[in-house]
Amino acid sequence: MHRKILVANDGSGGAAKALTAAIALARQAKAELHMICVEELPRFPTSVEEVIEEKQEASHRFTEVTAKATAEAKLHRIKLTAHVSAGHAVPRIVEAIEQHHFDLLVVGFMGHTALYNRLIGGTTDRLVEMAPCSVLVVK
């Protein structure tokens, strides 16, 4: 059974489903539940100001996401520890898993076209491939 669960939350509908599933699993397993939101930074920023602006905008967006998630967990009598990190989603999430020794990652499925996934690749696909723990993808 899982003891430390990490749920990735980007504020999307798929992430909301993943959060609901993670809360249910944490409650059932009496596991510790954490959530990570990654403030996605531009790949090739044109200036320092652009990076600062992106971080400020993401921080405001994730304040609401973490508040809603914490409230949902509390309704189910689960303590949720939220982490907000800046960077690129996949490496930050993998780093958090390694650093905090999570044994399960719960992520939402975000459907894209087959062409998009072939050209760019999906965050969920990369997490399934790179995460050093079990991964549950919620549809």
Handedness of CA 13, 100, 64, 61 (dihedral sign): negative
CATH tag for 4-138 (out of 3.40.50.620, 3.30.420.40, 3.40.1190.20, 3.30.710.10): 3.40.50.620
Q: What digits encode the pLDDT tens for the residues 1-56?
A: 799 999 999 888 889 999 999 999 999 999 999 999 998 765 555 565 655 565 55
Contacts of 62 (CB under 8 A, 6+ apart): 11, 37, 39, 84
Residue 62 pLDDT level (bands cut at 50, 70, 90): confident
pLDDT at 57: 57
Of the candidates 135, 112, 122, which has an alpha carbon nearest to the alpha carbon of residue 90?
A: 122
Domain boundaries, the chain: 4-138
pLDDT at 103: 97
| Residues forming a β-bridge with 35 | 7, 82
Residue 101 pLDDT level (bands cut at 50, 70, 90): very high
Report the run of H or E that residue 32 belongs to, with start and end. strand 32-40
Question: Rounded to two decimals, what is the model's pTM?
Answer: 0.83
Distance of alpha carbon 59 from alpha carbon 103, whole angstroms: 27
